[in-house]
C-alpha cells in the first residue's frame, strides 16, 4: 500500500475542523478518510507551533544559508577594495 502525502492546506483544514469540536475525531476521520490518530497528531503539532504565527518570521535553513553567503560576499568585496587600494599605494 502506497503512503499518501497531504498538503499543508489539507492538514490545516482538518486541524481547524478538529479545533471547532463540532464533530468527533472519528467523524472527521471518516469525512476526510484519515485515521483519528493522524488528526490528533496534526492537531498537537499545530498547537505546539501556534506561537510562531505571531512571533515573527521563522528563518528556514535556506534563509540562513543565503544570509551567510551574502555576508561572506560582502567581506570578500571589502577585502578586494582594500587589496586594490594597497596595491595602488605601494606601487
The DSSP string of 31-82 is HHTS-HHHHHHHHHHHHHTTHHHHS-PPPPHHHHHHHHHHHHHHHHHHHHHH
Q: Contact 28/39 with Cβ under 8 angstroms?
A: yes
Q: What is the pLDDT of residues 58-70, one digit of tens each?
A: 667 888 899 999 9
pLDDT tens per residue across span 42-63: 999 999 988 877 776 666 788 8
Distance of CA 83 to the CA centre of its chain: 41
Domain ranges, ordered by start, for the chain: 8-90
Question: How many Cα atoms within 13 Å fall on the side-chain side of residue 5?
Answer: 1
> What is the predicted pLDDT for the residue at 40?
95
Report if pTM > 0.75.
no
Amino acid at each position: 500500500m502506497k503512503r499518501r502525502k497531504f498538503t499543508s492546506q489539507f492538514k490545516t483544514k482538518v486541524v481547524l475542523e478538529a479545533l471547532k469540536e463540532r464533530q468527533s475525531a472519528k467523524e472527521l476521520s471518516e469525512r476526510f478518510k484519515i485515521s483519528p490518530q493522524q488528526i490528533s497528531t496534526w492537531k498537537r503539532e499545530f498547537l505546539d507551533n501556534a506561537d510562531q504565527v505571531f512571533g515573527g518570521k521563522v528563518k528556514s535553513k535556506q534563509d540562513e544559508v543565503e544570509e551567510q553567503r551574502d555576508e561572506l560576499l560582502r567581506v570578500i568585496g571589502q577585502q578586494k577594495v582594500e587589496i586594490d587600494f594597497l596595491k595602488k599605494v605601494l606601487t
